[in-house]
Amino acid sequence: MKQILEDTEKTFDVNTIRKDFPVLSENVYGKPLIYLDNAATSQKPHTVVDELVSFYSTYNANIHRGVHFLSQKASQAYDDVRVKVKEFIHAASEEEIIFTGGTTDSINLIASTWGRKFIHSGDEIIISAMEHHSNIVPWQMLCEEKGAKLKVIPMNDKGELLLEELNNLLSSKTKLVSVVHTSNSLGTINPIERIISKVHEYAAANSIEIPIVVDVAQAVVHEPLNVQKLDCDFLCFSSHKMLGPTGTGVLYGKAKWLNDMPPYRGGGDMIKSVSFEKTIYNDIPFRFEAGTPNIADVIAFGKAIDYLNSIDRIVALNYEMGLAKKASSLLSAIEGVRLIGTAENKTSVVSFIIEGVNAMDAGMYLDTLGIAVRTGHHCTEPVMQRFNIPGTIRASFLFYNTMSEVDALVDGVKNAVKFLKR
Amino acid sequence: MTIAQIEEEIVSDFELFDDWSQKYEYIIEIGQQLPALDEKFKTDVYKIKGCQSSVWLNASQKDGLLFFEADSDSVFVKGEIALLIKVLSGRTPEEIMSAELKFIDAIGLRQHVAVTRANGLANMIKQIKAYALAHKER
């Protein structure tokens, strides 16, 4: 990020923040937990945990149907979170916010509904070379079913997309572009505004429409997002990567698209009326939320948004960038360590390999020290193929991590190199 | 020694260690003692693929007994396969097939690795038992 401040720990009170996250004071193997797997899932502040307990202990009820007190209270709490999400990402209206099971579910929803209606034989869908499997496989499945084609924006050796290639990929056959905002395995932050405007300009010049899906699963906890400024057509993210519970997430879609999409799953709550002859579907967003939703987790997700709103996010972001910058420079100075993903614009993800050492062995070694990192292909096998490596060791930082945890990681890696190098 | 006796021996060796990091290091040491596997066996035919590591396993038969040799691109996984070889190599197919391998739980290995998809310990056991079944049916 461009906003990096030097010496950011002075302006960010990490010790106070850490007290809000119960897990961070846990020990593993008798050693203090050092949690550097935030890109996989974030830890939860006690307000989120408390809300789950509070919901189930004091107002658990099904929503949108009951006339009784508990149901009204639960319905109100659930609906309030939709408004919170709308404000959080600056959507035009809350009807554009659909609660899903998470990013993967959101992308599958688009592929299954929008895709079912608008993709035909010979059409093309463009994704990028650094997509998570969840932004590859649903489109592959759709393409296979429809006889459409998947096109891929390539990247350079630093892990940056080659945007000029996008010009060559766009054509009258292009029906959709789906791109990751921030790469989970490389840390690259893509110039998403430029990609969106490029695609929309191309579409306008050719009097066609090409909607853009943006996967912000890795970005949403780090940086403020504004869907109206971005002008994306769809936006997908998960609650659990932004301090909330697992099992819920969001699909934002422009109302004009959502209104034009067939339902995802059939069931209760997504209908206006049902007879054996004909069912009239409900309006958006309810049309896409069949059955009893994940009420408790959505309500607790609201507390995660409250938490993010309560901190100075720019200061937190600068602080995170300081952690990652320090980790990158100290790790890359270790003999045998090579960073994978060295884009100019990166999030607080540091992916690396150690020459001659299996990534899993290194991850397990760090685990014995109480350091939690991720190893392997991170559900981005094509990225690993691009760099011709089986996998990486990935440390991913969030604002509750500390500079001394970075030091512990660096010492751990130094010792891992000594111990594991054959 | 029976399979059960060897398993007991392994369990008592591991009792010397108080924590997981010592066990982790010991497992790696056991792997380092494994005789080198001929390069000709390091092909896909002999490969057992885990999510984050690979094992190459070769089986041979002599006088009704099955013998295993292996290597891995992970030093830890090499230790795991070395433990399995210690217990199961040089046994009859029947012995191998009926081995319960309780030592995996007893030394705390299952708790740390076997439940994850990452390293494929379950696949290694499956493959060894498949060899035993194939030789029994021969």
* A125 contacts A178 by C-beta, under 8 angstroms: yes
Query: Does domain A50-309 sit in CATH 3.40.50.970?
Result: no
Highest mean pLDDT among A214-228, A408-422, B33-47, B120-134: A214-228
* Over residues A155-177, mean pLDDT: 97
Token duo for residue A344: 């100019």
Q: Which amino acid is present at A279?
A: T
- pLDDT at site A79: 96
Chain A residues in contact with B74 by the CB 8 A cut-off are: 358, 360-361
pLDDT in the model for residue B135: 87
Q: Which two tokens stand for residue A277?
A: 């002859």
Residue B49 has a pLDDT of 76
B111: confidence class by pLDDT, cuts 50, 70, 90: confident
Q: Tell me, yes or no, if B115 comes closer than 8 A to chain A by beta carbon.
A: no
Choose the closest CB to A391 out of B19, B52, B113: B52
Query: Where residue A128 falls among pLDDT bands split at 50, 70, 90?
Result: very high
The CATH architecture of the domain made up of B3-136 is: Alpha-Beta Complex (3.90)
Which residues, numbered 68 to 97 in chain B, qualify as contacts with chain A under a Cβ-Cβ cut-off of 8 Å?
A: 73-77
- Res A1 pLDDT > 60: no
pLDDT in tens, A239-291: 999 999 999 999 999 999 999 999 998 888 888 888 888 888 899 999 999 99
Q: Where in chain A do CATH 3.40.640.10 domains reside?
A: 50-309
Matching residue, tokens 């433990």: B83
Taking CB atoms and an 8 Å limit, are B75 and A29 in contact across chains? no
B118 pLDDT more than 70: no
The one-letter amino acid at A315: V
Q: Report in angstroms the alpha-carbon separations of B34 from A54, A284, A348, B69, B72.
A: 55, 63, 40, 8, 11
Q: Residues, chain A, total?
A: 422
pLDDT at position A4 is: 47
Cα-to-chain-centroid distance, residue B72: 11
Q: Which CATH number fits domain A2-32+312-420: 1.10.1050.10, 3.90.1150.10, 3.30.470.10, 3.40.50.720?
A: 3.90.1150.10
Q: Which residue among B19, B20, B74 places its CB closest to the CB of A361?
A: B74
Band (B114; pLDDT cuts 50, 70, 90): low
**Number of CB atoms found within 10 A of residue A241's CB:** 27
State the DSSP H helix or E strand holding residue A252, giving kind and residue range, or none if neither. strand A249-253
Percent of chain B with pLDDT over 90: 72
| CA of A167 vs chain B CAs: smallest distance (Å) | 36
Inspect the interface and report whether the beta carbons of B75 and A365 lie closer than 8 Å. Answer: no
Which tokens go with B121? 């310990």
Chain A residues within an 8 Å CB radius of B19: 29-30
Provide the pLDDT confidence category of residue A3 given band limits of 50, 70 and 90.
very low
The answer on pLDDT for A422 being more than 80 is no
Nearest CA in chain B to A393: B52
The average pLDDT across A299-326 equals 97
pLDDT digits (tens, 9 = 90+) for A104-124: 999 999 999 999 999 999 999
User: Which chain A residues touch B113 with a CB distance below 8 Å?
Assistant: 364
Question: pLDDT digits over B47-76, tens only?
Answer: 987 778 889 999 999 999 999 999 999 999
Question: Please, what is the average pLDDT of chain A?
Answer: 95
C-alpha to C-alpha distances, A366 to A40, A146, A411, nearest whole angstrom: 17, 46, 10
At B116, is the pLDDT very low, low, confident or very high (cuts 50, 70, 90)? low
pLDDT(A7) > 60:
no
Question: Buried (b) or exposed (e) across A42-57, using 16+ Cβ within 10 A?
Answer: bbbbebbbebbebbee
Span(s) in chain A for CATH 3.90.1150.10: 2-32+312-420
The first and second tokens of residue A294, run together, are 């994940």
Alpha-carbon gap, residue A344 to A300, rounded angstroms: 36
Residue B51 among the catalytic residues: yes
Give the three-state DSSP class for A161.
strand
Residue carrying the six token digits 């960038």:
A321
Pairwise CB contact (< 8 Å): A29 & B25: no
Query: Taking 80 as the threshold, does the pLDDT of residue A6 lie above it?
Result: no
Write down the catalytic residue from B4, B22, B51, B105: B51
User: A261 burial class (0-12, 13-18, 19+ CB within 10 angstroms)?
Assistant: buried
Cβ neighbours of B73 in A, within 8 Å: 358, 390
pLDDT of residue B138: 67
Contact indicator for A372, A35 with CB cutoff of 8 Å: yes
Q: What is the pLDDT of residue B119?
A: 61
Cβ-count burial A213-236 (b if 16+ within 10 Å, e if not): bbbbbbbbbbbebebeebebbbbb
- Find out whether A235 and A225 touch, Cβ atoms under 8 Å: yes
φ/ψ (deg, to 5) at A4:
-55, 130
Q: Which residues in A381-406 are b (16+ Cβ under 10 Å) and which e?
A: ebbbebbeebbbbbbbbbbbbbeebb
pLDDT at B117: 57
CA angle A319, A321, A326 (to 5 degrees): 100
Q: Choose the weakest-confidence range: A102-116, A167-181, A378-392.
A: A378-392
Interface test with B, best of A27, A29, A358 (most B CBs within 10 A): A358
Does residue A82 have a pLDDT over 60?
yes
Is residue B123 very low, low, confident or very high in pLDDT (cuts 50, 70, 90)?
confident
Under an 8 A CB cutoff, do A29 and B21 touch?
yes
- With an 8 Å Cβ cutoff, are A360 and B24 in contact? no
| pTM recorded for the entire structure | 0.93
Chain B residues lying within 8 Å of A364, measured CB to CB: 24, 76, 113
Minimum Cα–Cα distance from A356: chain B residue:
B73
Q: Is A419 left (phi over 0), alpha (psi -120 to 50) or beta?
A: alpha
| Distance (Å) from the alpha carbon of A185 to chain B's nearest alpha carbon | 15
Predicted confidence (pLDDT) at residue B115 exceeds the cutoff of 60: no
What is the C-alpha separation between A49 and A244, in angstroms, rounded?
Answer: 9
Per-residue pLDDT, averaged over A173-192, amounts to 98
Measured in angstroms, the CA of B91 and the nearest CA of chain A are apart by 30
Sequence-distant (≥ 6) Cβ neighbours of residue B85 within 8 angstroms: B34, B68, B69, B70
Burial of A3 (0-12, 13-18, 19+ CB in 10 A): exposed
Tell me the domain boundaries of chain B. Answer: 3-136
The interface predicted TM-score of the complex, written ipTM, equals 0.89
Nearest CA in chain B to A366: B21
- Average pLDDT over chain B reads 89
CB contact under 8 A, A358 and B19: no
B53 and A358 within 8 Å at the Cβ level: the answer is yes
CA triple A300-A100-A286, angle to 5 deg: 100
Contact A176, A119 (CB under 8 A): yes
